Structure 1
Amino acid sequence: MLLLYVFALSLGICNAAALSPFRKSGRGIEGLVAAREYFYVGGEYVNVTSGNTTNQYMVGQIYVEKLTPPIITYPHGIVFVAGAGQTGTNFLTTPDGRQGWASYFLEHGYTVYLTDQPERGRSPWLPGTGSMVAFSTRDIESLFTATAAYNLWPQARLHTQWPGSGRAKDPVFNAFFATQVQLQSDRLISEANNAKAYTALMDRIGPAYLLTHSQAGAYGWRVGDARPGLVKGIVALEPSGPPFENAFPFEGRERTWGITDLEVVYEPSAGPNATDLETVTVPAVDANHTACILQAEPAKRLSNLAKVPVLVVTSEASFHAPYDYCTVKYLGQAGVNVTFLDLPKAGIYGNGHMMFMERNNVEIAMKIRDWLEATVTVAFPS
């Protein structure tokens, strides 16, 4: 019991009443003590020859941490998949020590799966498989934590929700930057490995929701496409995009299949390497947004993803604010049941790309829970 109590403290969800009898309240389960376990899933053996010696290694496996509330209110858990440079730890607590989303959803009766992508964090990388890159302090400041100071896109000046100055050597920034880890630089290797590993995870745990962030957005689409019967819904926090071609701060043609670099199922077929996907460019809605590349009509249908409800969440001040609406339009055009939670239109202002760590993170989590429970979640009888 002491170990469970200490674990609850580490999640920021335990107080002096933690060992009292559990009871359901209007805000969740009071006195929550979560059970914690971990496992690895996916992975395959490969042989590597160096000189006259051949050795065997495992590659592609992912670390999964399962947190189970004492009272499971909902039959399907939530799989958290962090974005570039992040791990499952980023959903535990915020950099300034407040309640993270893992704690919030545990309180409301969801089993939580925190994961590290292949070759990321606690998921091993075999040297020689692609290469590793890392974020600098300037990358983090300009894109995530101090965007108003850099003002690199129209909405950047609206960023007010990051706790602290957002600049290097600020204590909150230091706590966040210390969590940043290396990531696979080859996006094709990364997408292939992630799609394979998270599909294996769904096969192991059964029906669940996917919550993806940023870079992981494409991986969520691939897993939903591969296992539409197991993925009960996808919450995509500012997913990789926009369709087909990057917008600031990235450059170049990506996402050959519209929302992914590698194949997803279209009806009629998109052809080899998506060569039968015909596109048109639609003008931007205003000067603060980008133009959108959509399918030419009649649009092909994402027939598997059309079976999976999707919520796309975008912050007011993020570099995704100019273009996430294009991703939403593309998904809708392809037959996906997609809802757009554009946070400022919902009355939630000032957030950046790391919305789940910012001052109002619980307010945003409440909106996501509302969508889950209104759209796809079935609760156990009370």
Structure 2
Amino acid sequence: MKNSTAARLTRALALSLPFATLMGCAQAPIQLEKMGSFHVGGREVVLSGRPVKEIALTAGGVPAKFDPNGVYQVEQMYVQYFIPKDPRGALPLLMWHGGGLSGVTYETTPDGREGWLNYFVKKGWPTYNSDAVERGRSGFAMYPDIFQTEPVYLTKENPFERFRIGQGAGSYSKDPQRMKLLPGNQFPVEAYDQFTKQNVPRWTSTDAPTIAAYTELVDKVCPCVVIVHSQSGLFGARVAQARPDKVKALVMVEPAATGAVEDATKMKNVPVLAIYGDYIAQDPRWPTIRANGGRYFDALRAAGGNVDVIDLPSIGIKGNSHMIMMDKNSDVIAGIIQDWLVKQRLYK
């Protein structure tokens, strides 16, 4: 009896929900019309002259002949999309992550709170989250045959000291009691180990194929809004300069680099929001990075562009690290972005 009742209830729910519903334990449901993924970009490379080997592909397995000569597919980019059942964002929202990271940046916070991906999907934005060329599910290629530089790997200490979580060099410790945190820091440091598990190798010679893949993505799904972080500030600016008719707004979260000042006129019709966190003045690198961004934004304004720059401490929001979308007040900053997009008339 109980089993038949459960079966009827399951069938009733299936019939009443023709769309996807994703639910967390204590989270509101996300109702989707559809979700999926695809790859963009990439090229074929032919390698020859390599010795043929026999390799056991599984432990204890029978060795198989492995010929490394032939055609390889490389430099593609993975994209996952989430289309709400009742979309309210006037355009798709594209999320581009920073260096040494992947689309996981936006999926969830290290301490298990919902990430910006969920936030904006719940607001009704059709959202596209990607793993850039040479990251995560996009895959990587051989060095030095295809990628011209060796991969860069981060130590566990590096993000803690460089992303304005700790007080610079020597501030990280495995013992939380000995960590030297910046005062009032918003990063969920109790989950720092979880964050470092997201780190992936990066290359310094793949900007061109990355920009090519992002451009192909924009050509495929836009007009759109693009959110960039850190390294992808360069990619977002370059793609927006190349496709100003398709990038209808660019949100730059602590861009580590931007576009060329001399190309600023190409972006005069693309509204820009730039957001910076705390502790910049006392960091050895970020004052220069921030000043470079300031010159670019001044050039955009001089070209007639619409640029809003928010230094969070100046509006009373203090303690944010470089990883703003993971900080404890991440939803507050997402709300600032949402309000700005509403003002740009990009929300229904």
TM-score category, normalised to shorter length: 0.7 to 0.9
Q: Deviations over 1:59-115 (max 9, x none)?
A: 221000001111101221111111011111121110001111011111111011110
What is the match of residue 93 of structure 1? 108
Q: Is the 8 A contact 1:158 1:316 kept in 2?
A: no
Secondary structure in structure 2 of the residue aligned to 1:307:
coil
Shift in CA distance, 349/163, structure 1 to aligned 2, threshold 3 Å: same
Q: Deviations over 1:106-159 (max 9, x none)?
A: 11110111100101111121112132111111102212363237599xxx8345
Using the alignment, how far apart are the partners of 1:78 and 1:13 within structure 2? 26
Which of the numbers 222, 226, 234 marks the counterpart of 1:206? 222
Using the alignment, how far apart are the partners of 1:375 and 1:61 within structure 2? 32
What is the match of residue 276 of structure 2? 314
What is the match of residue 110 of structure 1? 125
Residue type of the alignment partner of 1:40: H
What is the match of residue 308 of structure 2? 339
What is the match of residue 349 of structure 1? 318
Secondary structure in structure 1 of the residue aligned to 2:76:
strand
Count of aligned pairs: 296
Shift in CA distance, 56/212, structure 1 to aligned 2, threshold 3 Å: same
List runs of 5+ in structure 2 lacking aligned partners: 1-13, 52-67, 172-180
What is the match of residue 194 of structure 1? 210
What is the match of residue 220 of structure 1? 236
Which of the numbers 126, 140, 157 marks the counterpart of 2:182? 157
Q: Is the 8 A contact 2:108 2:115 kept in 1?
A: yes
Using the alignment, how far apart are the partners of 2:184 and 2:202 within structure 1? 26
Secondary structure in structure 2 of the residue aligned to 1:356:
helix
Deviation of residue 332 (structure 1)?
2.0
Matched, 1:47 2:46: yes
Structure index of larger Rg: 2
Q: Is the 8 A contact 2:264 2:296 kept in 1?
A: no
Secondary structure in structure 2 of the residue aligned to 1:303:
helix
Q: Spell out structure 1 runs of 4+ moving beyond 6 A.
A: none
Structure 1 vs Structure 2 CA RMSD: 2.5
Shift in CA distance, 34/162, structure 1 to aligned 2, threshold 3 Å: farther
Deviation of residue 34 (structure 1)?
6.5
Using the alignment, how far apart are the partners of 1:378 and 1:99 within structure 2? 22
Matched, 1:173 2:205: no
Using the alignment, how far apart are the partners of 1:93 and 1:239 within structure 2? 20
Which of the numbers 147, 150, 156 marks the counterpart of 2:166? 147
Using the alignment, how far apart are the partners of 2:291 and 2:323 within structure 1? 18
Higher mean C-alpha displacement, 312-321 vs 205-214: 312-321
Matched, 1:330 2:313: no
Shift in CA distance, 75/136, structure 1 to aligned 2, threshold 3 Å: same
User: Within 5 A, what are the aligned runs for 1:217-256?
Assistant: 217-241=233-257
What is the match of residue 135 of structure 1? 154
Using the alignment, how far apart are the partners of 1:75 and 1:13 within structure 2? 29
Secondary structure in structure 1 of the residue aligned to 2:252:
strand
Residue type of the alignment partner of 1:328: G
Shift in CA distance, 96/209, structure 1 to aligned 2, threshold 3 Å: same
Deviation of residue 50 (structure 1)?
2.8
Deviation of residue 54 (structure 1)?
4.6
Secondary structure in structure 2 of the residue aligned to 1:198:
helix
Q: Deviations over 1:248-272 (max 9, x none)?
A: xxxxxxxxxxx45xxx6x7xxxxxx
TM-score by length of 1: 0.71
Identity value in percent: 29
TM-score by length of 2: 0.78
List runs of 5+ in structure 1 lacking aligned partners: 19-30, 166-171, 242-258, 267-299
Residue type of the alignment partner of 1:96: D
Secondary structure in structure 2 of the residue aligned to 1:161:
coil
Residue type of the alignment partner of 2:102: T
